[in-house]
């Protein structure tokens, strides 16, 4: 299955993505993790050495070559089929791809570079057999680009405060426009049942999963350690979500 993890900035998208990835790996699945956040740090959370990872968006020569932007027109459908193999990092059953951020401004328009990334993402979402977890850019802007229309499930991470839930509502509306039917709320950083109730009331539905505040996860992140081994409670929450999504598929 292909899962996109969305939500307001800082709500815990990368943290939740990392635990979902670990939950899938624990089931013996092949997982492709895609970091689509402009300031990527999923690699570190998953225990990859991020010092030797260059996001694809920063590979200017590659983007220029593929988009054909050196000519008078750029290619709307650039070739990307060989890129996943070249730019994936692997560790056991886990592969990681870091898309990164296209820099706006400077010489020329970013549309050509975006066409390469969009094609790459679409190719992965439409053709790979393995499970995919996409750690998305914060907010709602990316939904307008339609790049995640190939996913099976969208998980919207919220925390027990209004701002994150308002963003979730916007994501929900835009995702429905993309005809993605499996849309779920994930509650993160809850302190108690009252927090979960608040989220349930504000969102008008029960979250598909709840992650409580974990000092172990926070410490691991602060120390730059992989977080997936830090909290067995968070892993158990992720496993429950995967089971529910499997039933829904």
Ligand X SMILES: Nc1ncnc2c1ncn2[C@@H]1O[C@H](COP(=O)(O)OP(=O)(O)OP(=O)(O)O)[C@@H](O)[C@H]1O
Rule CB under 6 A: say whether 198 interacts with ligand X: no
9: partner contacted, choices ligand X, Mg ion, none (Cβ within 5-8 A by kind): ligand X
CB of 157 to ligand X, least distance (A): 6
What are the b/e assignments for 15-26, b being 16+ CB within 10 Å?
bbbbbbbbbbbe
- Report the candidate in 44, 22, 40, 41 with the shortest Cα–Cα distance to residue 31: 22
Q: Which of 4, 6, 14, 22 binds ligand X (CB under 6 A)?
A: 14
CB of 84 to ligand X, least distance (A): 23
CB of 135 to Mg ion, least distance (A): 6
Q: Which two tokens stand for residue 241?
A: 């979500």
Q: What is the rounded CA–CA span in Å between residue 124 and residue 114? A: 15
Rule CB under 6 A: say whether 119 interacts with ligand X: no
218: partner contacted, choices Mg ion, ligand X, none (Cβ within 5-8 A by kind): ligand X
Closest residue to Mg ion using C-beta atoms:
14
- Quick one: which segment of 77-85, 179-187, 197-205, 216-224 binds ligand X (CB under 6 A)? 216-224
Rule CB under 6 A: say whether 214 interacts with ligand X: yes
Q: Contact 19/237 with Cβ under 8 angstroms?
A: yes
Rule CB under 6 A: say whether 2 interacts with ligand X: no
Site size with ligand X, rule: CB under 6 A: 18
Draw the binding track, 24-43, toward ligand X (x: CB under 6 A; -: no contact).
-------------x------
Rule CB under 6 A: say whether 237 interacts with ligand X: no
Question: Of 131 and 137, which has the nearer Cβ to ligand X?
Answer: 137
Task: Please give the C-alpha separations between residue 142 and each of 42, 97, 123, 136, 147, in angstroms, as whole numbers.
Answer: 18, 18, 17, 8, 7
- Beta strands 131-135 and 89-91 are unpaired
211: partner contacted, choices Mg ion, ligand X, none (Cβ within 5-8 A by kind): ligand X
Question: Of 83 and 158, which has the nearer Cβ to ligand X?
Answer: 158
CB of 213 to Mg ion, least distance (A): 17
Question: Of 115 and 186, which has the nearer Cβ to Mg ion?
Answer: 186
What are the b/e assignments for 122-157, b being 16+ CB within 10 Å?
bbbbeeeeebbbbbbbbebebbeeebbbbbbbbbbb
- Quick one: which segment of 10-18, 59-67, 71-79, 106-114 binds ligand X (CB under 6 A)? 10-18
């Amino acid at each position: 299955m292909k899962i996109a993890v969305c939500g307001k900035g800082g709500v815990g998208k990368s943290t939740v993505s990392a635990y979902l990835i670990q939950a899938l790996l624990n089931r013996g699945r092949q997982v492709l993790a895609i970091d689509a956040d402009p300031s990527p740090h999923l690699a570190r959370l998953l225990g990859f050495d991020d010092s030797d990872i260059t996001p694809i968006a920063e590979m200017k020569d590659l983007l220029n070559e593929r988009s054909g932007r050196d000519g008078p027109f750029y290619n709307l459908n650039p070739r990307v089929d060989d890129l996943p193999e070249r730019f994936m990092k692997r560790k056991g059953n886990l592969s990681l791809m870091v898309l990164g951020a296209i820099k706006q401004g400077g010489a020329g328009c970013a549309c050509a570079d975006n066409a390469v990334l969009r094609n790459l993402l679409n190719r992965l979402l439409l053709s790979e057999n393995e499970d995919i977890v996409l750690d998305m850019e914060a907010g709602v802007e990316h939904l307008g680009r339609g790049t995640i229309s190939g996913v099976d499930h969208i998980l919207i991470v919220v925390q027990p405060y209004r701002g994150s839930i308002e963003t979730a509502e916007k994501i929900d509306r835009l995702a429905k426009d993309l005809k993605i039917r499996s849309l779920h709320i994930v509650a993160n950083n809850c302190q108690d049942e009252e927090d979960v109730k608040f989220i349930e009331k504000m969102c008008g539905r029960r979250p598909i999963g709840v992650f409580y505040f974990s000092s172990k996860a926070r410490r691991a992140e602060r120390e730059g350690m992989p977080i997936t081994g830090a909290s067995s409670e968070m892993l158990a929450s992720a496993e429950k979500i995967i089971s529910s999504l499997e039933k829904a598929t």
